[in-house]
Structure 1
Amino acid sequence: MTTDIVILAAGQGSRMKSALPKVLHAVGGKPMVKHVIDNARQLGQARVHVVIGHGAEQLKEQLSDESLSFAVQAEQLGTGHAVAQAVPDLADDSVTLILYGDVPLTQPETMQKLVNAAHTGALGLLTVKLENPTGYGRIVRAEGTDEVIAIVEQKDASSDELQINEVNTGIMAVPTSLLRKWLPALSSNNAQGEYYLTDIIAMAASEGVRIDAQHPSCEQEVQGVNNRVQLAQLERWYQLQQAEQLMLSGATLADPARVDVRGSVDVAGDVLIDINAVFEGRVVLETGVVIEPNCVLKNVTVGKNTRIKANSVLEDSTIGESCDIGPFARIRPGTDLAKGAKIGNFVETKKAIIGEGSKVNHLSYIGDAIIGKNSNIGAGTITCNYDGVNKSATHIGDNAFIGSNTALVAPVSVGNSATIGAGSTVTKSVADDTLSVARAKQVMLSNWQRPVKKAKES
């Protein structure tokens, strides 16, 4: 029996006060609905269907790289009505798992328990016990037994039913053949005037279909988001889980509450991460790496024993072992640093390959460049790589010395062990073992009259 996954993502989310559809708001740098899709994909060869409505075109655009089918809920008539829009695309012999685009952190293991129950012919229902169940549908069990017989929504519940603290999460797995039979029988005769998906629980109970109630590992797994306060609460919980995983993997965090992971971070032992670190995309930190305060790393691999000093930003780059970067360095995409390279304060690199032991210490821009081993790039050096139309490359050999405030006008090359005098503008290639000075002759005027400020007119 196959599995179909239906993700409900048609709601407007008016309480978010946003033009962005609610399910596209991010947790951990990823849209909530994308979390749901990614976790559901781990169930195997399941087919994923997304029910869209408000902001349908935005959702399609954001999810264009996914292999999905879409169903449109033109009118917001309740969860039962939403699922019904996807039914024509479901396989007759499948099990249907129903998820929610604004409940992003339900784990694959929890989903699998529900699917397993439905594969046996039962209705797999995810419930959770809350200290404050206000707003949730209550799970009603037969008196004296654990048998689930109904779900009663908050607005329809009696005073006794409102005392129940076991609530419906809305997440369930159902044999599709039963879903096809029950959905047309739903009624909108309730306080909301909507077709509640939860009413199929009573139908299942009346037909003797076993209702297998499963539970998440924690309530945050099933926490939905209706406003930005709840979004922030879920974000903080999610980030704490990421921080704990980093520590269990061998990283020391100066403050687990001040690290944000917006992707994935692989760490080896004895990594130190100071406060306000932000990791995006895929980041790899090898043994002995130190990340000082206020650094941002996106899609970066950092070799062992490298130190990233405070306030540095690294993106789409590869950093070798025993490098020293920053403070206030900007490492842009395409940078590749070899072992022992040094990038100093207020240095920017882009598409730069910098060889073993080479140094770019201060206030320099190195773009579209290849630098050999053990070369020194003086303060204020820039590679003039753009002529207004095309980008050109600069090549610097091994053991070269580039004096401060040098402009290297690409395309140009500087040979091995060559020296460039400070303040030079280099437009022609420099041979190995030579000194090149390209600057205007210094002139001194002994009788020069220094300007003075004119007196103000009365």
Structure 2
Amino acid sequence: MTSIHHSPQPSRSCLAIVLAAGEGTRMKSGKPKVLHQVANRSMLGHVLAVLAQAGATRMAVVIGPDREDVAKEVSRAAPDAQVFVQRDRLGTAHAVLSAREALGQAPDDVIVAFGDTPLILPETFARLRAPLGEGAAVVAMGFHAKDPTGYGRFITSGDELLAIREHRDASEAERAITLCNGGLMAIRGDLALALLDRVRNDNAKGEYYLTDIVEIARSLGHRTAIAVVPEEEVHGVNDRAQLAAAERMIQDRLRHVAMASGVTLVAPETVFLSYDTRLGQDVVVEPHVVFGPGVVVEDGAVIHSFSHLEGARVASGAGVGPFARLRPGASIGPKAKVGNFVEIKNTDLGAGAKVSHLTYLGDASVGAEANIGAGTITCNYDGFGKYRTEIGEGAFIGSNSSLVAPVTIGKGAFVGSGSVITESIPEDALGLGRGRQIVKEGWAVAFREKAQAAKRK
């Protein structure tokens, strides 16, 4: 069966109802299923974002009772969405009717989506809606399953969808069908309540199935349609293994998009991206790099192996790693260098500045072309508050120095190696904060002789 790519008519209003009331007991988790993350965004957040991109003019989310955590995620991801509670779990049609108030506002189109299918693309929702503008009453999303066990089957006659039969209610002949129900549906808004109110629960589970509206619509003389999509897009998540599979699929998608835009991923399967990772042209990412949320890497930068970045910005031509960690608020300037075993948090590193190894910079500002020696740390926290360290342009911080904030190192200033700096250093000055070295000639010989004599006794 061939699907045609459509675009929804922009003048048509669209209500998207997202079903997110399931507890997900097979996840074995105290957290609701839809709040589990793929690519560092909740599955529910993915669905709501895609619906907004697909042109939904209003959204309603159906959640379970006493699920303030899910309601909070809805408010964060889609502040204008309405939240409805399904008190009793009596099936998918019953869940949709929990949003009766929203349905009663007469949208042109209604989309029913699920909070645990995070791989749906915006254009897929557009294809699902399009037949409604051409006269269909119900459009069901289907896919050709490699293993159809457990899925509802599409009962067809030619290109006509006659019914959707749940697996446990299907005959042996119907179970042999591989065109299966992907769950998502589009319904003509002026018919939605009338169709849903006719659904009955005379089936093996005693539930009100949303899928029954196909037969109901046809019995009333309305046309139904099918939108066929790749199986990956309707991948649902019910347990940890399926969550891992969703992560794998979305990572493959994100990697493909990155490489298509001009990014070199040396070993793509070892790089993990977030839903919002932004990588510029000619960025090179070496193996085993993890991008947390909120990372921007500008053109021509290089992220070396085994680095972890989150909430950070890396400017054009900069180098990070290997084995570097950029935490939220890290801003790495053009052509700056962050080397191995360096951790940076809430710090601006100026253009051309170098932090080559074994260093922690937190709550700091480092001027252009400054050099931070190995083993340097900013002491930014006293157990109660955070304080800033300001390091001027061209400053040189000797190895194994501790800069006790709040403190300022002036432009062009030097800090002697091994110093503990507690007071600010003016421009072009040298700061030393260590005990004076004492040398005792011959001390080692006497020490060894005494130790050896003690050992002989």
Residues 180-201 of structure 1 deviation map (CA, whole Å, 9 limit, x = unaligned): 2232322211111111121221
Q: CA deviation at 1:54?
A: 6.0
Query: For the aligned residues, what is the CA RMSD?
Result: 2.7
Aligned counterparts, 1:250-329, within 5 A: 250-281=262-293, 299-329=294-324
Which residue of the partner structure matches residue 154 of structure 2? 139
Bigger fraction of residues in strand: 1
Are residues 334 and 96 of structure 1, via their aligned partners in 2, closer, same or farther at CA, if it must alter by over 3 Å?
Answer: closer
- How far the C-alpha of 1:48 sits from its partner, in A, is 0.9
Note the 1:62-101 alignment, pairs <5 A.
62-65=73-76, 66=78, 67-94=80-107, 95-101=109-115
| Candidates 228, 231, 234, aligned match of 2:246 | 234
Would you say 1:115 and 2:115 are equivalent positions?
no
The equivalent of 2:259 in structure 1 is 247
String of CA shifts for 1:69-105, please: whole Å, max 9, x gaps.
1222211111121112112322453222111122222
Residues paired across the two proteins, number: 436
| Alignment deviations for residues 154-179 of structure 1 (CA, whole Å, 9 cap, x no partner) | 22222222222222223211123322
Structure 2 counterparts to residues 14-413 of structure 1, below 5 A: 14-53=25-64, 56-65=67-76, 66=78, 67-94=80-107, 95-122=109-136, 123-142=138-157, 145-216=158-229, 218-281=230-293, 299-413=294-408
CA gap 1:41/1:440 in 2 versus in 1, 3 angstroms = same
Q: CA deviation at 1:241?
A: 1.8
1:356-396 CA-to-partner distances (Å, cap 9, x unmatched) read: 33323332333333333333333323333334444333333
> Once the 2 structures are TM-superposed, how far is the Cα of residue 59 of structure 1 from its aligned partner?
1.0
Matched residue, 1:5? 16
Structure 2 length-normalised TM: 0.86
Change (3 A) 1:190 1:270: same
The residue type paired with residue 95 of structure 2 is: A
**DSSP-derived class of the 1:188 partner:** coil
Q: Is the 8 A contact 2:289 2:307 kept in 1?
A: no
Pair 1:428 & 2:428 matched: no
Q: Per the alignment, do residues 254 and 155 of structure 1 end up closer, same or farther by CA in structure 2, a change over 3 Å counting?
A: same
**Secondary structure of 2:210's aligned partner:** coil
Contact 1:8 1:52 in 2 (8 A): yes
Q: Which amino acid aligns with 1:158?
A: S
Which shows bigger deviation, 409-418 or 107-116?
409-418
Higher mean C-alpha deviation, range 248-257 or range 386-395: 386-395
Post-superposition Cα deviations, 1:15-69, rounded to whole Å, max 9, x if no partner, equal 2222222222222222222222111112325211111126622211222222221
Q: Does the CA contact (< 8 Å) of 2:38 and 2:246 recur in 1?
A: yes
Hey, what's the Cα distance between the residues in 2 that align with 1:221 and 1:351? 38
The structure-2 alpha-carbon separation of the partners of 1:141 and 1:265, relative to structure 1 and needing over 3 Å to count, comes to: same
Determine the C-alpha separation between the residues in 2 that align with 1:388 and 1:307.
35
Q: TM-score, normalised by structure 1?
A: 0.86
Aligned partners of 2:57, 2:369: CA distance in 1, in Å? 54
5+ residue gaps, structure 1: 282-298
Deviations 1:250-293 (A, max 9, x none): 22333332222221334444333232222232xxxxxxxxxxxx
Answer whether contact 1:110 1:215 (CA < 8 A) is retained.
no
- Aligned-pair identity in percent equals 42
In structure 2, stretches of 5+ residues that fail to align are 1-11
Question: Does the Cα contact within 8 Å between 2:380 and 2:388 map onto a contact in 1?
Answer: yes
Give the Cα–Cα distance (whole angstroms) in 1 for the partners of residues 308 and 322 of structure 2: 10
Segment of structure 1 superposing worse, 373-382 or 239-248:
373-382
Whichever residue aligns with residue 376 of structure 1, its letter is N
Moved more, 409-418 or 160-169: 409-418
- Looking at structure 2, the residues matched to 92 and 334 of structure 1 have their Cα atoms a distance apart, in angstroms, of 44
2:6 alignment partner in structure 1: none
Determine helix, strand or coil for the equivalent of 2:434: coil
Indicate the SS of the match to 2:154: strand
Give the Cα–Cα distance (whole angstroms) in 2 for the partners of residues 202 and 131 of structure 1.
Answer: 26
Q: Which runs of 4+ in 1 moved over 6 A?
A: 453-456
2-structure distance, mates of 1:17, 1:54: 19
For residue 318 of structure 1, what is the amino acid of its counterpart?
R
Shift of 1:211: 0.7
Q: Relative to structure 1, is the Cα distance of residues 77 and 394 closer, same or farther in structure 2, using a 3 angstrom cutoff? A: closer
